[in-house]
Amino acid sequence: MRFVAKDFKKDPEIPEYYIARDTICITQQLNLEIDFRLLPETTDLQTCIDFLNQVMENFAENERTAQNKIVSDYHNVYNENWADSEDDEDYEFPQLNKKQFRENLTLIEISLIDDKSVEFIYAENGMFDGHILTAYSDDGKTFSYSSMCG
């Protein structure tokens, strides 16, 4: 998949951004519709698109690395602070091993600012009460920090 300028339009909610939506084949059984959001602050749109295309050339590795960062930073947080105990009447969210935790993450957006940073944004299937989890990279390859928002 290669993006070109005509794939993007101004985001009606945040006019500084450009947005495109596309379907990515994650596995033979799983296709995801993902938003791609670009913010050209100090560069032009085409430079952002070129950076996105570089990120997408290594999508599988980048997505795995981003997910690893989320799992590393939030798996224990979930089990220690958000999971229900077996004594709760509402035992909806049990403690999870890392594989189970990872299976609850769904990539929903890839966002880029200029040609420097990229964010992989995940829905978390209710584990954190509807918050989103974001893995950040300042070079498009190394995901060095993450956050929970919402």
Q: Which residue, among 41, 43, 35, 27, has the nearest Cα to 8 in the 3D structure?
A: 35
Tell me the pLDDT tens digit for each residue of 70-119: 999 999 999 999 998 777 667 678 899 999 999 999 999 999 998 889 99
> What's the pTM value of the predicted model, to 2 decimals?
0.91
Residue 35 β-bridge partners: 21, 109
Tell me the pLDDT tens digit for each residue of 18-69: 999 988 876 666 688 899 999 998 899 999 999 999 999 999 999 999 999 9
The boundaries of the domain holding residue 116 are 5-149
* d(C-alpha 73, C-alpha 78), whole Å: 10
The H-assigned helical ranges of 1-150 are 45-57, 59-77, 98-103
What total of structural domains would you count in the chain?
A: 1
